[in-house]
Structure 1
Amino acid sequence: MKARLFDFSSTWQLPASPEEVWAVIADTDMSWPQWWPHCTFAAPLERTETTSKAPEETLKATTAHLNFKAFLGYTLTITIHPTKVTSPQEIEFDAGGDLQGMGRVTLVPQEQGKTTRMDIEWRVRPTQRWMDVLTPVAAPAFKAAHALMMRQGEKGLEQALANKRIRKPA
């Protein structure tokens, strides 16, 4: 029996231009654990060699192993490997580890480029047997845990963007 496919989508409204948002979410050092609560590195970044030093190529050569601690008490280790990078508007990635599938982040300028709508899509299946067994009854709790984790990420990113603006020279 194949594990249930989860389609998660989130929309974040961010008080910064797409270029400013991109600089934080698509940095080649994967700084997410610095601003996303309950997100930590599960292992060092893996990077294959590239023929170019372009940031887009560096991102596609990078695999991040991240732990996300859910409010329900469990931790998911997710591997993210970008497969398509279109700066500063879209990243598609393969997901592995405890959730297998794909994801996409799209940045859409709002208010003449002063703010950004960030659309996040995940199409994943759990690989942990306990999640697969509990999904028929726990799917609403898993969805709620995902929504809370994403809200924490949105708040953390808003704070990171605000801090960058404060440090920006006048």
Structure 2
Amino acid sequence: MSSRLFDLSSKWHLPATPEAVWAIIADIDMSWPKWWPHCSFAAPLVRTEAKSNSQEDILKATTAYLNFKASLGYTLTISIHPTEVTAPKEIEFDAGGHLEGTGKVTLIPEANDKATRLDIEWRVRPTHRWMQLLTPIAAPAFTAAHTLMMRQGEKGLLRALGEGAPKKTK
């Protein structure tokens, strides 16, 4: 049974430079669970031998297995494996597990490089049989759950960026 392709996109506006955003989202330890609510590691990172010690090559040699707890009560386990990395601008990745397909994260400077728009695109199909069966009637609910999950990620990233900001002194 071939399931429906979901084309999902999000735009986050962040009050930080692309380099500051990149430092958090492209961390070689893929530490998203530290700042993304309802996200946890499903398994340890899998890392093959990188072509070099560059951040880009280390990311491309890494696969993360993450659990995302949706507002509807289910948990999706998704593998994320970067395939193209251009610091500090873009990451393309393959997704596997409960959602199979591809994704892309693009950082676009705003406000004279003092802010960043983060565009996230997913083109995925559910692999869970129950999701495949329910998609014809539940697609709007799945899309709404995705939107809420992404909003939680945006808020978590905003907090993480704020924690890394220099403290103001009087």
- Give the TM-score range, shorter chain: over 0.9
Correspondence for 1:3: 3
Correspondence for 1:74: 74
Correspondence for 2:132: 132
Q: Structure 1 counterpart of 2:121, which letter? A: E
- Once the two structures are TM-superposed, the CA of residue 51 in structure 1 deviates from its matched residue by 2.8
Q: Deviations over 1:115-147 (max 9, x none)?
A: 000000000000000000000110000000000
Structure 1 position 94 matched with structure 2 position 103: no
**Aligned residues with identical type, % of pairs:** 70
Q: Deviations over 1:93-132 (max 9, x none)?
A: 0000000000000000000000000000000000000000
Which 5+ residue runs of structure 2 have no aligned equivalent?
Answer: none
Q: Structure 2 counterpart of 1:138, which letter? A: A
- Once the two structures are TM-superposed, the CA of residue 48 in structure 1 deviates from its matched residue by 0.2
CA distance in 2, matches of 1:78, 1:96: 6
Q: Structure 1 counterpart of 2:44, which letter? A: P
Q: Structure 2 counterpart of 1:149, which letter? A: M
- Once the two structures are TM-superposed, the CA of residue 166 in structure 1 deviates from its matched residue by 3.7
Q: How large is the Cα RMSD of the aligned pairs?
A: 1.0
Correspondence for 1:37: 37
Q: Deviations over 1:62-89 (max 9, x none)?
A: 0000000001000000000000000000
Correspondence for 2:58: 58
Structure 1 position 47 matched with structure 2 position 47: yes
Report the TM-score when normalising by structure 2: 0.97
CA distance in 2, matches of 1:119, 1:167: 28
- Once the two structures are TM-superposed, the CA of residue 50 in structure 1 deviates from its matched residue by 1.5
Report the TM-score when normalising by structure 1: 0.97
Q: Secondary structure at the match of 1:112?
A: coil
Q: How many residues are treated as equivalent by the alignment?
A: 168
Q: Structure 1 counterpart of 2:68, which letter? A: F
Q: Structure 1 counterpart of 2:96, which letter? A: G
